[in-house]
Structure 1
Amino acid sequence: MGRRSDHSREELEELILAEGHGLLAETGYARFSAREVAKRIGYSIGTIYNVFGSLDALLLAINSRTFVLWAAWLREKLAVAGDDRIAALVAGYFDFAERNPNLWMAIYDHRQPPGTEMPEGYRRLRSGLTGIVEAEIAHVLPQDRRGEAPALARSLVALVHGHCEFALNGTFALLGEQDPQAAALARVREALAAGGATGAAVGRA
């Protein structure tokens, strides 16, 4: 039985997002169902589409929420990181993915329909994560090379992501890699050293 008059549109949006996020964490992308979200909140499937417009839009909103939580997770790690903030950043990336595998993988499993632009609000939410990485990389680069931080950050995120994905899907185990996180950190340190970073960022006192 629907409860169409129980919540405002804003309350409905938050209710759907919260329950959808929980369901995605539980089931993963392949088994996610808007109908199951509707069932769990006691509304019709039509209510979800009235609020979000489509399943793609709902997943985009849910995945954007994951980015916000991920950024908060990294900030917490960095707050107690000590001098070696690059190691804390890599560890935070791995830790979040390992603790939230379904949410983390859903970010990359979901594809927007061709030709669809991501709404600016969601783009800003997601940029919080890359902004953290860019700031940390800029901080360890020489002053005259800090303009390279955004491009280097993108490459290093891709590097760490690949190591993390191979760790979670078992590929590294098949390849005989015993410590994917340490391997990712070593490659990051090498790239930063090539960019002129010194000290704790490259593993040196």
Structure 2
Amino acid sequence: MGRRSDHSRDELRELILVAGEQLIAETGYADFSAREVAKRVGYTIGTIHNVFGNVDGLVTQINTRTFTAWADALDAALAEAGEDRIEALVLAYFRFAADNLNRWAALYDHRPGDDTYTPEDEAPRARLLGIVTDEVARTLDRPVDEAVATLARSLVATVHGHASFALTGSWAAMGQTDVEAAALARVRESLAAAAG
């Protein structure tokens, strides 16, 4: 029997999120189980549905926390960056993905319905993209506008593709080395073309 009155709703939400984060970090999204999360916290799966609406709601909230941690990691890298802030961002992307592989992959493996996201879920995603967009604008010495934002999204996709290939072993299988340098070179080429 679950401990139905042991925790307030906020405490229960945090307890479930922490257990869910740990489970995704251990198993990845493909093997994620809300039943296992419920078991770990000593409540029923019905409690998870009560608090998060459904499993998509729970995973979305876990992913929101991952986006927050990722944005924090980018901010920390920029705080310590020297002159080359773009390099700091690219390397921080790879470091976060490698250090949090299953959590990072779950961001892309989980595909909830459009109505699953709330403004609170969108804020960390927007913050992450905003960090990159601001640095792209700074590098180009331009204000943030739609063209700069579109370029920033494309650069994130470029780095993501390189990181994905690296972390799945595809990059090495193609006989390539130094994936971070290759990603950084593609980013620099794109920025140079945009500046020209």
Fold agreement, TM-score > 0.5: yes
In structure 2, list runs of 5 or more residues that go unmatched.
none
Give the whole-Å Cα distance in 1 for the aligned partners of 2:134 and 2:163.
21
Deviations 1:136-178 (A, max 9, x none): 11111133x6423211100000000000000011111111110
TM-score normalized by structure 1? 0.91
Tell me which amino acid in the other structure corresponds to 2:175: G
Q: Which residue of 2 aligns with 1:31?
A: 31
CA contact (8 A) 2:162 2:183 kept: yes
After TM superposition, give the deviation of residue 117 of structure 1 in Å: 5.2
Q: Which residue of 2 aligns with 1:126?
A: 125
Aligned-partner SS, 2:163: helix
Give the whole-Å Cα distance in 2 for the aligned partners of 1:32 and 1:146.
39
- Are 1:139 and 2:135 an aligned pair? no
Q: Which residue of 1 aligns with 2:45?
A: 45
Tell me which amino acid in the other structure corresponds to 1:158: A
CA contact (8 A) 2:25 2:103 kept: yes
After TM superposition, give the deviation of residue 125 of structure 1 in Å: 2.1
| % same residue | 57
Q: Map 1:1-205; keep pairs closer than 5 Å.
A: 1-113=1-113, 116=115, 118-143=117-142, 146-147=144-145, 148-196=147-195
Aligned-partner SS, 2:32: coil
Detail structure 1 runs of 4+ shifted over 4 Å in the superposition: none
Tell me which amino acid in the other structure corresponds to 1:171: S
In structure 1, list runs of 5 or more residues that go unmatched.
198-205
Aligned-CA RMSD value: 1.3
TM-score normalized by structure 2? 0.95
After TM superposition, give the deviation of residue 45 of structure 1 in Å: 1.1
How many residues align structurally? 195
Tell me which amino acid in the other structure corresponds to 2:187: V
